[in-house]
Structure 1
């Protein structure tokens, strides 16, 4: 069986301490697996000297390439940049903290060869805290509408997919990116298998509860009409509730000859309808904001420099 060619894309943020160990552990695995390989380190606005470390690694290892973003754009935007720069037939994405062991990559490739287009390495046991796990579950819930429940439950930043899939989103231009959703534009052949998940070697995770929550919200409003459907359903439910109240008030007036007393009751009804209207307006406003950003053609990312000056990204 011919060995594949592999591009590994790794978004980097404040990981100067870990990068040398990551490359030292990753390159031997790639050299054994692939006929040709490369590691693309995308520096996403790090503030700790990560770009300097990437430059040193690229100078010492011909297989390592570095891309420096103009500022911090977010993990998925950095991934998209690296994916578009990849030169080989398969792309592996992984985190920069060695929580995804490179030794697990062969398992993903074996599963991919069974006819799938995307394979996720789902952690057997995640080494996160309560809030991070909760935020991860919310993110996966947001993905269900785009990917299907079974696939969304097993997504991970540790994935391998065929490079040809990027043709499906080659023209995508938006500041809000989700690699997992974009991959669904090119295929439905997803699968996942359990892999080891190691503790972070140094520092703390940069993906906080609020960042994951924001990412989930961006996915729901940027790639799905589910919030609009929820707002419509809520508005319909409130209208039905108001109609029932009206029938009750008129019925009581006809039968007993009096109206329903009490300001709190009326105030609560007004609050329910006002809240439903504001919620619907807020959801519509989020969609209008995204249309506004698309009309401005705001880029998904911008590259400051690369370790190969002649290279275009």
Structure 2
């Protein structure tokens, strides 16, 4: 790493039950950022933690003028917490990193070195992820859904460890949906995207807040919230079932009038009805998901609500 100074940097960290890692995280972030930028801030967004994370954030903000703490009303989810932090950023570049120290803060300069070349977003992809088998499989499912929504390139590169230009948020300043995907929002304005390999360590404290149910829910939310692919699949299934029904009808007519044989069997009719009914219910379910999204948007449910702030971030420097 050279000694050149980068643009002013804001680090946004979604916090959930991380009272043990936060002091070390802030200390390491300061060590990393002080040599490479003159102005930086760290925004810690407490997303409804059940431990003493907010008390730790208040203590850190009191001791360190670069720390800004946001305490959300309840647990909104990682992406909503990130959005809250991004909307409070004051600097030119934004870095998002998890609070568990699995990706070392010392990897941040790798992102900055690429971002300064003119890219809009730079993702840090773990070289050897220290995840369990089920977590790797569920993450793969999320990657596939992101590929559907964002396109193959960005979907393959996306990761929670990212650096991007603050000006990208101009594209979603008016965003109001309660369900948020930061990568989708960034894709609305980003053009040049890059990715670098970064180290990934085993978790030292606690366990991941993401369960299989939450990851699958996030996947469904992204696909139905930001893509028409499910509707197209439902349309294709409807067309397929109609063609199958037509073929069966022609077969029955041929058997009856040419060969003078009736197609026997209650089982045959029951199977046909069950297949078509299943496809119809699937299609109705998909349409219902989209209608539900529209319904919740009209309710005006916010993406997040900040209960309390602590510290002044870069304003105090």
Matched residue pairs, number? 311
Bigger relative CO (Cα 8 Å, ≥ 6 apart): 2
Moved segments of 4+, more than 6 Å: none
Q: Which runs of 5+ in 2 are unaligned?
A: none
Question: 1:221-262 CA deviation, whole Å, 9 max, x = no partner?
Answer: 000001101111111111111111111111111222122111
Normalised by the length of structure 2, the TM-score is: 0.96
Please tell me the root mean square deviation across aligned C-alpha atoms, in Å. 1.4
The reply on whether 1:223 has 2:226 as its aligned counterpart is: yes
The reply on whether 1:285 has 2:284 as its aligned counterpart is: no
**For residue 69 of structure 1, what is the aligned residue in structure 2?**
72
> In 1, distance between residues paired with 2:235 and 2:84?
36
**For residue 12 of structure 1, what is the aligned residue in structure 2?**
15
More moved, 226-235 vs 146-155: 146-155
Please show how residues 1-313 of structure 1 align to structure 2 within 5 Å.
Answer: 2-308=5-311
Q: Does the 8 Å CA contact 1:146/1:184 hold for their aligned counterparts?
A: no
How big is the shift at 1:308? 4.0
Give the secondary structure class of the aligned counterpart of 2:34: helix
> In 2, distance between residues paired with 1:281 and 1:45?
35
> In 1, distance between residues paired with 2:6 and 2:311?
26
Q: Does the 8 Å CA contact 2:149/2:222 hold for their aligned counterparts?
A: no
Q: Does the 8 Å CA contact 2:62/2:311 hold for their aligned counterparts?
A: no
Give the secondary structure class of the aligned counterpart of 1:33: coil
> In 2, distance between residues paired with 1:149 and 1:3?
30
> In 1, distance between residues paired with 2:78 and 2:172?
17
How big is the shift at 1:2? 4.4
> In 2, distance between residues paired with 1:206 and 1:24?
23
Normalised by the length of structure 1, the TM-score is: 0.97
How big is the shift at 1:149? 1.1
> In 1, distance between residues paired with 2:205 and 2:169?
32
More moved, 17-26 vs 174-183: 17-26
